[in-house]
Structure 1
């Protein structure tokens, strides 16, 4: 090997050491605020966290930059609308993951897309996710819906590290519980959790290095899943659901889908549902429908023998009608013991 070649190798080694030192120094500076943050979100739940970060960005010293990643088709989503109002730079997903290295950390809140490992690792401090459940319970797209539908008495907010390939499996950075009241419906609980999530996110960002350092793996016990909801979830299975379960399902799907059933081949949507306070009447016939003239409601028997009441219904081709109108137009034309929803 000639002296010229050795000299070139020596210069290369020195250059590599120099670059390595520079990278290390830059990384050390990145573990102290102000942070350069890229926010991923889409919906109203996301907006609460974005508002908290934006307020800190405008009026505090915690953030040096805040940009937004979201996805949309023809119609703008809630995050895009808010970001544009605040004149934040908006990236349309998917993005080139290489631009993430210009930011310190990524924050994901109700985003709906599985983020690739190449993007996650390009953030020097990785990515955080604000999730609306006490993980590992209710991993997935619809944790609030499943918590209410299953009669949970508490849920919460989990802030975790984002991991590739699967949703909601990262180490827990912080967790706080939130009570579910018997009268809570989806919009009410969602708003409450969104607020708690925003508060916890800001607290985490303020103590970011320590929060990341002391993150803990999720427990292996108690894992459950909350996959994306479709209209089939709103179909009432009278043979399987108690009256309380039907009420819980209605609370869980408020603003998403009305509960549905079928009455003698006619699809029926059920509105303004409550549980009737009455003793069980034998024999139990799940799906049996009666009309109560006193309360002007339909009464439908559930699998446990208890009843729910329905004030309004919808059938194809007609406007939403009262229980009285449904009784006159449909129910009264069927023999009493055959008035059964399926």
Structure 2
């Protein structure tokens, strides 16, 4: 990496199709009891599905008799862990006047019973907690899950992020049964048809935008599945994606970790950095600040590292350096390509400092040691 003295594009909204076409076979002869649903969810993706079946319940109470919502407890956050960040679905469920149950384990917990009628269908969407066989076996129709990928590809808790990180051009929705032992290995009852949906503006799409695109489709698929009693026996596997791709080409979608945002200046190209910045948000390293204060006479490797958090990048041509002035509060980084590409840091924070002030601090350090080579990754020039 080289450091040189030295917009984000506005977010675009996506419109979802008015009609969802999906691979699903059903029979008009299937019947079921009125559904008493235990809905397990957490985030905006699950909230959309909850609203969809709530609306269906209001339109057709003979199909859906009741809905109870299970969510996990809020997490402590902030300085001193004094604040509690509630799971988003909790507030929505309360607004919809649905009964809620806050649990962090199913051990010892029993599903509710209304008017002597037990829960007969479990629906889990972005829940993050395994629904055990005891709960599934107690529901006449077992369990359903809405997943934002074409299963069995991108099994795991973060399919939306990995869809974008892998530069996919297509994606879709899968509705599966809840497996009694494993996540995302149930029978596929409905799926976006071949060859999947084009991701709108895929080269610039963010996780929030992809979620906004897929969430209504997931809610619509869930409602159609309930209307047509696809969940009622006999069940039929209609999944197509796994039949059109080899097992070796299937990818996992593990939880996103902090280390996924740690810039490796030795291997990451400018394109990779811009991609991860768009998908993961803030990126970081622990060498930019340390090397910005280093001179040839200083062993910068002995200095304690400070994390630099980068809040945004934009591409920058080396022919544009003449446009920079000494008052410019941004700087550029040169990436590993030969010749290097340059990324302008639009904003950053140095660990321990006020958010967004890192660029000024680093530029001030560069002014102190102008025109100095300072290590393998970074070079200062006059500011």
Query: TM-score normalised by the shorter chain: which range applies?
Result: 0.7 to 0.9
Q: Relative contact order, CA 8 A, sep 6+: which one is greater?
A: 2
3-state DSSP of counterpart to 2:172 = strand
Match of residue 337 from structure 1 = 373
Match status 1:301 vs 2:323? no
- Give the aligned CA root-mean-square deviation in angstroms: 3.0
| 1:179 and 2:215 matched | no
- Which residue does the alignment assign to 2:56? 56
- 8 Å CA contact retained: 2:111, 2:119: no
Whether the 8 Å CA contact 2:334–2:342 is kept in 1: the answer is yes
| TM-score, normalised with respect to structure 2 | 0.70
- Which of the numbers 320, 326, 333 marks the counterpart of 2:355? 320
Q: Whole-Å Cα distance in 1 between the matches of residues 329 and 186 of structure 2?
A: 51
Aligned residue for 1:115, secondary structure, equals: coil
After TM superposition, the score normalised by the length of structure 1 is 0.78
**Do residues 89 (structure 1) and 108 (structure 2) align?**
no
* Separation in structure 1 between the aligned mates of residue 260 and residue 169 of structure 2, nearest angstrom: 21
Unaligned segments of structure 1, at least 5 residues = 1-28, 280-289
Relative to structure 1, the CA distance from residue 106 to residue 31 in structure 2 (aligned partners, 3 Å threshold; closer, same or farther) is farther
1:266-325 CA-partner distances (Å, limit 9, x unpaired): 31111222234679xxxxxxxxxx997168642222333333221111012222336762
Unaligned 5+ runs, structure 2 = 1-28, 75-83, 291-304, 379-383
Query: 2:39: which partner in 1?
Result: 39
Task: Name the counterpart of 1:17.
Answer: none
Matches within 5 A, 1:1-342: 31-32=31-32, 34-61=34-61, 62-73=63-74, 74-93=84-103, 94-95=105-106, 96-97=109-110, 102-176=118-192, 177-180=196-199, 181-209=202-230, 213-216=235-238, 219=242, 221=247, 222-254=249-281, 258-262=282-286, 263=288, 264=290, 265-276=305-316, 293=324, 297-304=330-337, 305-321=340-356, 325-334=360-369, 335-338=371-374, 340=377
Distance 1:211 1:77, change over 3 A: same
Instruction: Quote how far apart the aligned CAs of 1:179 are.
Output: 2.9
Query: SS of 2:55's equivalent?
Result: helix
**CA 1:179–1:133: 2 relative to 1, 3 Å:** same
- Please give the secondary structure, in 2, of the residue aligned with 1:195: helix
Alignment CA distance shift 1:324-1:209 (3 Å): closer
User: Which residue does 1:24 correspond to in 2?
Assistant: none
